[in-house]
Amino acid sequence: MRPDPTPIHSKPSYLEELAPGVHAYLQPPGTWGYGNAGMISDGRSTLLVDTLNDLHTTQVMIECLAPYVANAPVVGLVNTSGASDHCWGNQLIAGGDVEVISTREAWDDLQTSSPDGLHKVSKLQAILPRSMRRVAKALTGPFSFKDIRLAPPTRFVEAPEQYARLERDVHLIPLGNAQSPGMLAIWLPADKILVVGDTVLAGHTPGLSGSVSTWLTALDTLRNLKPAVIVPGHGLPGGIELIDETQEFLTWFDKEVHRAHDNGLNAAETVKHLHAALPMSPTGPLGESERLVLSVHEHWSTLEPGYKMPDPPVLFAHMGKLMAA
């Protein structure tokens, strides 16, 4: 049964029980900055999966989890990636006896992010050009990026392993440079529950900052586990159809980008082509289609070695135009 929603920045969030001792913390509709998290307990200790996009939303989640961890304290926190909406609240959990777990690649990726930079963007929205203002508003929303510190992991996962600090079967599975560098999945074989972060999305346009080929391989790895329940990085939990959706979109995206490149289109023209073709894609249009701008330019570097991404203002302006279309 789903508890009454707890308002976070006017969006409902709630804790959903997936199995005894296993909960997903969900933030529908899962748009920019509203990632999911999870909690796994053996009745005496608790492992958290991800924190949220700022300190306030993470603190609200902690308060929601408080009754569940009162007699089963948090002993570990595992981050599924270095994305801000999955780890910028780490400092509220880290410290003491809590083990913070990531991959080395995700930590390196996290260190390239800038909470201070987004804090400045949020303060400058009023003076930005309209197209850029749309993107700035989507990225910063009602969040506060002030005082965020990037809490470092206490150890790295380099190969699949069983988590040792819980008396239940929990596996940590590195997925490589998929949606972003150093992705991790958490697998509970007895319950057939998979918590995957942004490797799988439900109803949202995949945003690429890694490798399409590695991402597709990662999805095959997850499919082979035959999960009954999948908690995506954004959107609501589901079954194997969530892997299907992400995989179908990526396969279509990869094919269309290669075709556009072979036909002499540049990256910006390819974005326009893909955006127009979304209704004919296997999945149809998904949320936040402006992510195509970032994904196409990221993927272009695999087609043209040495390709330089446009500067953020150029990317933001293009994304804003798609948002207004």
pLDDT exceeds cutoff 90 at 82 = yes
Please answer whether residues 216 and 176 qualify as being in contact, where contact means their C-beta atoms are separated by less than 8 angstroms: no
**Residue range 211-260, pLDDT digits in tens:** 999 999 999 999 999 999 999 999 999 999 999 999 999 999 999 999 99
Res 6: pLDDT: 39
Q: Does domain 6-113+150-238 have CATH number 3.60.15.10?
A: yes
d(CA 160, CA 258): 33
What would you report as the CA-atom Rg of the chain, rounded to the nearest whole angstrom? 19
d(CA 295, CA 211): 10
pLDDT exceeds cutoff 90 at 1 = no
Tokens of 151: 């809490």
pLDDT exceeds cutoff 70 at 4 = no
pLDDT exceeds cutoff 60 at 31 = yes
pLDDT tier at 11 (50, 70, 90 boundaries)?
Answer: low
Please answer whether residues 83 and 50 qualify as being in contact, where contact means their C-beta atoms are separated by less than 8 angstroms: no
Tokens of 207: 């945003």
Res 81: pLDDT: 97
Residues with Cβ within 8 Å of 116's Cβ and at least 6 positions away in sequence, in order, are 145
**Residue range 182-199, pLDDT digits in tens:** 999 999 999 999 999 999
pLDDT tier at 312 (50, 70, 90 boundaries)?
Answer: confident
Give, in degrees to the nearest 5, the angle at Cα 229 between 223 and 235.
95
Please answer whether residues 128 and 136 qualify as being in contact, where contact means their C-beta atoms are separated by less than 8 angstroms: yes
d(CA 255, CA 257): 6
* Bond into 3 cis (ω within 30): no
Can you give the residue ranges of every domain in the chain?
A: 6-113+150-238, 240-325
